[in-house]
Amino acid sequence: MKRGYVQVYTGNGKGKTTAALGCAIRAAGAGLNVLVAQFVKGAKYNEIRALERFSNNVTVRQYGRTCFIKRRPEQKDIDDARRGLQDVRECLNSGLYDVVVLDEANIALYYSLFTVRELLEIIDNRPQHCEIIITGRYAPKEILDVADLVTEMKEVKHYYSKGVNARDGIER
């Protein structure tokens, strides 16, 4: 790729991570090197197990705990996210990756685990060929403004509201 763009998948609907990982799989199929950096996630979800099949050119790193933040973040949440952001910066500086997925980076911003300015700096200083894909609810205006593609997932109806928990192989 000569030029990489910035994609954002946000909104309150299902499918943000799924869309980003679909792009990662497509890129891997084309022989591109992919980094999937998951913020505020630390559990080995089935999508991570699936990506292990692409280990020749897909690297997955998680910067979070086994549970999602549903409360005020603790220092460990902040430390994990900041470590992840530094790791992403180093990976981008290496020039090895063609596509970098920053899964739930918008959530990390929402919880102030790092700043919009820090993320914008990483976006601005990435190698020209590198595609950046950012997921998570609550994408701030500054991120939307620099994005080349923005998709908002909107929940219209979800069986979760009827008491159906996340199902193995479908939601996790």
**CATH number of 103's domain:** 3.40.50.300
**What confidence score (pLDDT) does residue 72 get?**
85
Residue numbers of the domain that contains 112: 6-156
Please report whether residue 1 resides in a domain: no
Rounded distance, CA 97 to CA 127, Å?
9
Distance separating alpha carbons of residues 65 and 43, to the nearest angstrom:
7
Q: Residue 162: inside a domain, yes or no?
A: no
- 84 domain residue, yes or no: yes
In terms of Cα–Cα distance, which of 60, 64, 1, 65 is closest to 27?
1
> CB count, 10 Å around CB of 29?
10
pLDDT value at residue 69? 67
**Strand runs (DSSP E) across the chain, as ranges?**
6-10, 34-39, 58-63, 99-103, 131-135, 149-152
Mean pLDDT of the chain: 94
In a domain, 167, yes or no: no
Amino acid, res. 112:
S
Q: Which amino acid is at 9?
A: Y
Structural domain includes residue 28: yes
Determine the pLDDT at residue 51. Answer: 94
Q: Is residue 161 part of a domain?
A: no
Q: Are 99 and 23 in contact, with CB atoms under 8 Å apart?
A: yes
Number of folded domains in the chain?
1
Buried b (16+ CB within 10 A) or exposed e, 125-139: ebeeebbbbbbbbeb
CA distance 41 to 75: 15
Structural domain includes residue 169: no
Cα 84 vs. chain centroid, distance in angstroms? 11
Read off the pTM: 0.93
- Is 170 domain-assigned? no
From 4-13, 62-71, 98-107, the region with the lowest mean pLDDT: 62-71
Query: What's at 58, amino acid-wise?
Result: V
Confidence of residue 66 (pLDDT cuts 50, 70, 90): confident
Q: Is 99 helix (H, G, I), strand (E, B) or coil?
A: strand
With a cut of 90, say whether residue 45 has pLDDT above it. no
pLDDT digits (tens, 9 = 90+) for 129-160: 999 999 999 999 999 999 999 999 998 998 88
Of 89, 118, 97, which is closest to residue 28 (Cα–Cα)? 97
